[in-house]
C-alpha cells in the first residue's frame, strides 16, 4: 500500500521532469538568442511551479509540519521512522536529484539572461555615445548635421 507521501512524491517526479525539459528548452533559446519561444516556456514553467507548490503543501500536511519547518529534514525523519516504505525513499532521492539538476539549469539560464542583458546594455551605451558625438548644433541652437570636416565639426 502506498502512503500519502508515496502518492505525492510519485506525482512530483514527472512534473519536475517536465520542468527540467522546459529549462533545457529555455537554455537552447537563450544560447541561440531566440526570444520567440521564451514567453510560452515561461508560462509553462509558472504552471508547473504552481502544481509543484501545491504538492509541496500536500507533503507538508502529510508530514504534519508548518511552513516554517524544513521539508527535507522532516521527510528524512519520516523515512527513518518508516523503513518499510522503500519506494517513498527511492522517489525522495529521485526528487532531490532532479531538484538539484533543475537548480543548476536555472542558475545557468539566469547567467545566460544576465549575459544577454549586459550585451544589450553595452550596445545601447555605444549607440548613445555615438549619438552624443554626432550631436552638433548650429548658431540658431538647432541640431545640425556634421559637415564632414573634423576641424569645423569639433569647433
Residue for cell digits 502518492?
7
- Answer yes or no: is pLDDT of 126 > 80: no
Q: Higher model confidence: residue 33 or residue 148?
A: 33
The pLDDT, as a whole number, for residue 116 is: 74
Q: How confident is the model at residue 140 (pLDDT cuts 50, 70, 90)?
A: low
Which of 8, 12, 11 has the alpha carbon at shortest distance from 98?
Answer: 12
The predicted-structure confidence for 28-67, as pLDDT tens digits, reads as follows 999 998 999 999 999 999 999 999 999 999 999 999 998 8
User: What's the longest Cα–Cα distance across the chain?
Assistant: 90
Task: Give the three-state DSSP class for 143.
Answer: strand
Structure-block grid coordinates of residue 104: 543548476
Comparing 27 with 149, which gets the higher pLDDT? 27
Q: What is the DSSP letter of 144?
A: E
Return the exposure string of 55-80: e unless at least 16 CB atoms fall within 10 Å of the residue's CB, then b: beebbbebbebeeeeeeeebbeebbe
At 152 the pLDDT is: 46
**Cβ-Cβ contacts under 8 Å for 18 (sequence gap 6 or more):** 48
| Cα gap 1→13, rounded to integer Å | 19
CA dihedral for 21, 26, 31, 33, sign (positive or negative):
positive
* pLDDT number for residue 151: 46
Amino acid at each position: 500500500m502506498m502512503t500519502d507521501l508515496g502518492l505525492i512524491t510519485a506525482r512530483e517526479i514527472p512534473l519536475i521532469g517536465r520542468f527540467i525539459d522546459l529549462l533545457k528548452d529555455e537554455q537552447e533559446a537563450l544560447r541561440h538568442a531566440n526570444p520567440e519561444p521564451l514567453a510560452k516556456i515561461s508560462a509553462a514553467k509558472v504552471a508547473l511551479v504552481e502544481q509543484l507548490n501545491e504538492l509541496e503543501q500536500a507533503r507538508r500536511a502529510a508530514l504534519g509540519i508548518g511552513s516554517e519547518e524544513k521539508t527535507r529534514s522532516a521527510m528524512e525523519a519520516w523515512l527513518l521512522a518508516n523503513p518499510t516504505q522503500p519506494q517513498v525513499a527511492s522517489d525522495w532521492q529521485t526528487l532531490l536529484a532532479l531538484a538539484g539538476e533543475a537548480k543548476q539549469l536555472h542558475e545557468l539560464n539566469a547567467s545566460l539572461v544576465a549575459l544577454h542583458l549586459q550585451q544589450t546594455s553595452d550596445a545601447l551605451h555605444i549607440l548613445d555615445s555615438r549619438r552624443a558625438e554626432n550631436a552638433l548644433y548650429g548658431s540658431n541652437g538647432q541640431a545640425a548635421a556634421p559637415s564632414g570636416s573634423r576641424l569645423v565639426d569639433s569647433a
